[in-house]
Amino acid sequence: MTDAPLALLAELTHRCPLRCPYCSNPTALTGPGEELDTATWARVFAEAAELGCLQLHLSGGEPTARRDILDLVRAAGGAGLYTNLITAGVLLDAGRLAALAEAGLDHVQLSVQDAEAGSADRIGGYAGGHAKKLAVGRLVTAAGLPLTLNAVVHRQNLDRLPALIDLALDLGAGRLEVAHVQYYGWALRNRDALLPTRAQLEAATATVEAARAAHRGRLVIDYVVPDYYAKRPKACMGGWGRRFLAVSPAGRILPCHAAESLPGFDFPNVRTSSLRAAWEGSEAFARYRGTGWMPEPCRGCDRAEVDWGGCRCQAFALTGDAAATDPACALSPDHGLLALAVEEAAGAGEGFTYREPRPEPRRAPAPG
């Protein structure tokens, strides 16, 4: 029997006023007319609770772009789920935050693009966004809601990691996620402009270790490192179809939020399938679950039930084969692709291809 999932990631919409060049949304964005309606999402939340989920992460795009966000929060609370709003913050104000808290919201995860306003606004592609985020962060804590600050880091902001830690403390956050960019979707398009140097990575790791010691009991720091300097892969999402599931704006039920990038799958949809049927009985969830699917050198490896083969989306992005050994593993025959990517990035410029709901996103100039 498959264990129950811990959490559901509900991607309510792909709409977002920001245009981050590392956005985890697919490059083919779902339009508003294809999004699930309020009643369908409420049913999904009830099914998630019945399946055994404890946590619900309300994400996007920007989830507060949904006019029914209060109704969705109420439905999630009514189902008994712990609700975390993953937001850019720029569409929130004191009144809306108060209404969300009254509706039963349990937690806010606020994204920031940098500690310096000019750089942050350039990275997010949204003028004035950084100042708005700082104001919203203070409103969150003033409303009595727990706050996590999410800082996606990369070559163009990593040197300001100490200032990002200070920012989390100043805003009263209880948790800081220092999340290195993961390279698929929009981030893969912008990899050359985002991939940090080894020196930057080593300095960042030392900064995090020192800050954890200095602020123990005051600030929890989660640290997600990039795979491109790794010798062993991470257990992506706790392993394919083992701990988490996601539902896309159009209703596709996925083992992770990036799985739509993989060809050859017929993912179930909540319009025609229950979450339980997808989790327990679909071929899409079973395909890379466990260890039976693994090729050599993963098969029989003493870490097979530690990293569960690494990331299928990364394996496909780098090798064209989702069943290949994750190139983050030093034993992979494709491990050299990572060193090649680092070498190519070292001589690249800093212009971005922004996330846009258009076939040909425009590139932003490099700073300066």
Is 236 one of the annotated binding-site residues? no
Asked if residues 279 and 3 have their Cβ atoms less than 8 Å apart, the reply is: no
| pTM passes above 0.85 | yes
Is 16 one of the annotated binding-site residues? yes
Is 23 one of the annotated binding-site residues? yes
Each of the 368 residues of the chain gets a pLDDT tens digit; together they read 578 999 999 999 999 999 999 998 888 889 999 999 999 999 999 999 999 999 999 999 999 999 999 999 999 999 999 999 999 999 999 999 999 999 999 999 999 999 999 999 999 999 999 999 999 999 999 999 999 999 999 999 999 999 999 999 999 999 999 999 999 889 999 999 999 999 999 999 999 999 999 999 999 999 988 889 989 998 888 999 999 999 999 999 999 999 988 999 999 999 999 999 999 999 999 999 999 999 999 988 999 999 999 999 999 999 999 999 999 999 999 999 999 999 999 888 889 999 987 544 444 556 65
Model pLDDT, residue 185: 86
Assigned token pair, 252 = 């596709």
Asked if residues 218 and 176 have their Cβ atoms less than 8 Å apart, the reply is: no
Asked if residues 87 and 112 have their Cβ atoms less than 8 Å apart, the reply is: no
Label residue 203 exposed, middle or buried (CB < 10 Å: 0-12, 13-18, 19+).
middle
Compute the CA torsion angle 358, 359, 363, 364 (nearest 10 deg).
10
- Based on its alpha-carbon atoms, the radius of gyration of the chain, rounded to whole angstroms, reads 20
342-353 in b/e form (b: 16+ CB < 10 A) is beebeeeebebb
